[in-house]
């Protein structure tokens, strides 16, 4: 049951801060650039759950997801979640900012399905851009992917990275970092 999903919409650029002490269930959208901070102490976006709080999946395992972030221009800001990122993140311009998700266990899903569980779509992922996840970067089991136009940024993940893009150099992609390494997003 989803009680409500709100929308935060800015016609112009977002240069300030949107901070949630809990989950940020809202859809955040700007038609322009983003250089501020979007942060949640919990999850960004939401998923459908049953009466017991367990994630509801279809027979092929995708989640029903709500919320997300859409940036119509360039993104040099910070997006931070101490929980999971369930919603999609789309940047129509160049991404030079940071996207960081700690990840946390989700009732009803396997222990590995945490972190960035939505789609990531960046028109351009430039030098200086970074995606860091304490779990997955997009969820192959849930049929979400990461598309990075002209990828030159950096990706680090404790889990797998479901990358559907042009070649990202090996030096800029660290994934499945779990064998004895201490990792915090």
pLDDT tens-place string over residues 49-89: 999 999 998 888 899 999 999 999 999 999 999 999 999 99
Q: Residues 146, 163: contact at Cβ < 8 Å?
A: yes
Query: How high is the mean pLDDT of the chain?
Result: 90
3-state secondary structure of 172: helix
Q: Write down the residue that tokens 């940020």 correspond to.
A: 24
Burial 24-38 (b: 16+ CB within 10 A, else e): bbbbbbbebbbbbbb
- Please give the model's pTM, rounded to 2 decimal places: 0.91
Residue 183 has pLDDT above 70, yes or no: no
Quote the CA–CA distance of 86 and 169 in Å, as a whole number. 27
Quote the CA–CA distance of 40 and 167 in Å, as a whole number. 31
């Amino acid at each position: 049951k989803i009680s409500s999903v709100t929308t935060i919409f800015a016609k112009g650029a977002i240069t300030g801060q949107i901070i949630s002490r809990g989950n940020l269930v809202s859809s955040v959208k700007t038609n322009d650039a983003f250089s501020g901070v979007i942060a949640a102490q919990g999850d960004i976006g939401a998923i459908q759950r049953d009466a017991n709080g367990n994630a509801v999946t279809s027979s092929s395992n995708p989640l029903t997801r709500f919320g997300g972030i859409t940036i119509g221009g360039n993104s040099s800001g910070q997006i931070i979640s101490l929980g999971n990122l369930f919603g999609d993140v789309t940047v129509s311009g160049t991404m030079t900012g940071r996207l960081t998700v700690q990840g946390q266990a989700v009732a009803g899903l396997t222990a590995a399905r945490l972190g960035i569980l939505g789609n990531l779509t960046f028109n351009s992922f430039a030098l200086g851009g970074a995606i860091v996840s304490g779990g997955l970067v997009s969820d192959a089991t849930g049929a979400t992917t990461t598309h990075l136009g002209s990828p030159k940024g950096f990706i680090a993940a404790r889990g797998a990275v479901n990358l559907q893009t042009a070649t990202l150099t090996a030096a800029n992609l660290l994934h499945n970092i779990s064998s004895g390494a201490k990792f915090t997003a």
